[in-house]
């Protein structure tokens, strides 16, 4: 076991996969000599050379399209969005070509590529650098969407994403890169479509992902002391959703709270609520509660920013209210 920082866990995943498969390469802004804006690819160019750690000009739509073309012709590119928000500039290549081209080509081509980088609300980074693109991209057919949350799952999921033959949008969180965790010494790969049960419980199911996992667990620490027993599930895979794990939990607790960092309108939670209503409505003892970020551009001011995202105290109150609600 070695204590590993989150960004180094990602680096290890990329390093191991590049050593294993010479078709794997990284493309993006400052991924080579600079080592990535969060040091995820630090010094890898020294080991693998400039073509495998390709520093691109600042041309998001074009280098993303290049990755699609490289993937169609047999390489396995990893795109780094220096900040995932920048990839709004690559929306067309991600949606039309990474997402849909396999289908429109009638199976002629596959697109094995990973699009990864930091997303989420940081600390006073301003609206453009505080985006949650997972919500915008969830409607695109053909994409898999993953949100990692710990050094352990970041490494195992990224390795799986690189090996997957489909385009995978892989969200890291700008505030989680310095987390530490002891990682197994040997190689491991995690399934891309499985949620993680972070805490088993009986009262209520809390569905969350990415950094909100930590807000939830902070709330749970207080709730435990007062005798509440929530079950916490980190979704990890935002598309497809792991309804086996979600369903098993709901059949047990019959109450659901979703805690997410994306905006409420058209969010990941909105899709989950609809899916729960479709599949598990009869299991519910209360309406699903959705706790999301406010429907506003993330404000710069720190106090306003805190009001924009869901805070642990709000989760505590919500769990108490739902756990004690009469059926």
Partner 1 sequence: MVQERALPKIQSASAQITKEEGLVLYEDMILGRFFEDKCAEMYYRGKMFGFVHLYNGQEAVSTGVIQAMRPGEDYVCSTYRDHVHALSAGVPAREVMAELFGKATGCSKGRGGSMHLFSAEHKLLGGFAFIGEGIPVATGAAFQSKYRREVMGDENADQVTAAFFGDGTTNNGQFFECLNMAALWKLPILFVVENNKWAIGMAHDRATSQPEIYKKASVFGMPGYEVDGMDVLAVRAIAQEAVVRARAGEGPTLIECLTYRFRGHSLADPDELRSKDEKEAWFARDPIKKLAAYLLEQNLADQSELKAIEKKIQTIVDEAVEFGVNSPEPDASELYRYIFAED
In the block, residue with structure tokens 């999301």: 292
SS3 (DSSP) at 209: coil
Q: How far is the CB of 160 from partner 1 (least distance, A)?
A: 14
The CA distances from residue 10 to 45, 162, 199, 306, in Å, are 15, 11, 24, 28
Using CB under 8 A, pick the residue from 15, 23, 122, 284 that binds partner 1.
Answer: 23
Kindly calculate the radius of gyration of the chain based on its CA atoms and give it in whole angstroms. Answer: 20
| Active-site annotation holder among 12, 60, 80, 260 | 60
DSSP state string for 19-86: HH-TTEEEEETT-STT--TTSTTTTHHHHH-TTTEEEPPS-HHHHHHHHHHHHHTT-EEEEE-SSGGG
Annotated active-site residue in 17, 129, 215, 231: 129
Indicate if 129 belongs to the active site.
yes
Near partner 1 by CB under 8 A: residue from 1, 107, 225, 326: 107
Over the window 29 to 58, marking each residue x when it contacts partner 1 by CB under 8 A and - when it does not, the resulting string is --------------------x-xx---xx-
Taking CB under 8 A as the rule, does residue 244 contact partner 1?
A: no
Q: Euclidean distance between the first and final Cα of the chain, in Å?
A: 47
- Residue 116 burial (CB count, 10 A): 28
To the nearest whole angstrom, how small is the minimum distance from the Cβ of residue 166 to partner 1? 5
What residues between 131 and 150 interact with partner 1 by CB under 8 A? 141-142
Question: Binding to partner 1 by residue 63, rule CB under 8 A?
Answer: yes
State phi, psi for 54 to the nearest 5 degrees: -85, 110
Of 100-108, 122-130, 190-198, 300-308: span binding partner 1 (CB under 8 A): 100-108
Of 128, 319, 85, 87, residue with least CA distance to 205: 319
List the one residue from 109, 163, 286, 314 that touches partner 1 (CB under 8 A).
Answer: 109
Q: Is 25 in the site for partner 1 (CB under 8 A)?
A: yes
Interface region with partner 1, contact rule CB under 8 A, candidates 67-75, 191-199, 284-292, 317-325: 67-75
Residue 33: active-site member: no
- What is the DSSP-derived secondary structure letter of residue 255? -
* Residues marked as catalytic: 60, 129
Chain residues binding partner 1 by CB under 8 A are 22-23, 25, 49, 51-52, 56-57, 59, 61-75, 77, 92-93, 96-97, 101-112, 141-142, 164-166
């Amino acid at each position: 076991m070695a204590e590993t920082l989150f960004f180094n866990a990602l680096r290890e995943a990329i390093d191991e996969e590049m050593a294993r498969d010479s078709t794997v390469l990284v493309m993006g802004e400052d991924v080579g000599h600079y080592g990535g804006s969060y040091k995820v690819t630090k010094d890898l160019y020294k080991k693998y050379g400039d073509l495998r750690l390709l520093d691109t000009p600042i041309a998001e739509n074009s280098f993303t399209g290049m990755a699609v073309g490289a993937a169609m012709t047999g390489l396995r590119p990893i795109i780094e969005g220096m900040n995932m928000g920048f990839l709004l500039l690559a929306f067309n290549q991600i949606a039309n070509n990474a997402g849909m081209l396999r289908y429109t080509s009638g199976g002629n081509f596959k697109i094995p590529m990973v699009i990864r980088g930091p997303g989420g609300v940081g600390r006073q980074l301003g609206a453009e650098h505080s985006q949650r693109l997972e919500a915008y991209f969830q409607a695109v057919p053909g994409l898999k969407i993953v949100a990692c949350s710990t050094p352990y799952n970041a490494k195992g999921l990224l390795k799986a994403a690189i090996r997957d033959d489909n385009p995978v949008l892989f969200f890291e969180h700008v505030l989680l890169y310095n987390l530490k965790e002891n990682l197994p010494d040997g190689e491991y790969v995690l399934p891309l479509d499985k949620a993680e049960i972070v805490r088993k419980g009986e009262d209520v199911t809390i569905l969350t992902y990415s950094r909100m996992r930590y807000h939830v667990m902070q709330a749970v620490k207080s709730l435990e002391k007062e005798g509440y027993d929530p079950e916490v599930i980190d979704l990890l895979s935002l598309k497809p959703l792991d309804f086996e794990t979600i369903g098993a939990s709901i059949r047990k607790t019959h109450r659901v709270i979703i805690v997410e960092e994306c905006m409420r309108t058209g969010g990941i939670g909105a899709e989950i609520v609809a899916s729960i209503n479709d599949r598990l409505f009869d299991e519910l003892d209360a309406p699903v509660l959705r706790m999301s970020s406010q429907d506003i551009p993330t404000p710069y001011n720190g106090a306003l920013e805190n009001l924009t995202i869901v805070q642990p105290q709000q989760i505590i109150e919500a769990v108490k209210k739902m756990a004690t609600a009469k059926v």
